[in-house]
Amino acid sequence: MPDVRIFVSFDLEHDEDLCAAMLEQSQEAASGFQVSARSEPHQMSDLWEQRQRRQIRDADEVIVVCGAHTADSMRMSAELKIIQEEDKPYFLLWGRREIMCTRPTGARPQDSMYSWTTDILRTQIAYTLRKHRPMEARKSAKASPAPPEP
């Protein structure tokens, strides 16, 4: 099975090191995912929104890496709005163990924030993607009945 393509949303002003850690983890042989795109430092504009929307749409899933200032990041809130409008599967990841991390503005009450360990990350990527697939895809994956005998 090919690697899951991930868009990483993070606070550019405070959490560049968290994105670097995610990139490093994705390059491990058994990670099961690749970072296909990430938050970008360009000026927020219509062109920025179109580019981010395309990159989010092209990803299989989004990981929102949360830090201490996530709630104050207008860029992350704008990305989360795009993620939700595109109906892209996502989950929130607690980026810093030693401090209180905040959720982006616009996060839904049911959006849980998960600890960042290798096992939890792999499990959550697989679970979030599987949970989001349409029911039709689940049905078509089932074995077809044997054709009637003549």
Under DSSP, the state recorded for 14 is T
| Residue 130 included in any domain | yes
Range of the domain at 52: 4-137
Cα 81 from Cα 101, distance rounded (Å) = 19
Q: How many domains does the chain have?
A: 1
Cα 85 from Cα 81, distance rounded (Å) = 6
Q: Three-state SS across 38-74?
A: ECCCCCCCHHHHHHHHHHHHHCCEEEEEECCCHHHCH
Cα 52 from Cα 46, distance rounded (Å) = 10
| Residue 14 included in any domain | yes
Going residue by residue through the chain (150 aa), what tens digit of pLDDT does each one get?
468 999 999 999 999 999 999 999 999 878 889 999 999 988 999 999 999 999 999 999 999 999 999 999 999 999 999 999 999 999 999 999 999 999 999 999 999 999 999 999 999 998 888 888 764 455 555 555 555 665
| Residue 150 included in any domain | no
The CATH number of whichever domain residue 131 belongs to comes to: 3.40.50.450
Calculate ∠ Cα 27-33-36, nearest 5°: 85
Model pTM score: 0.85
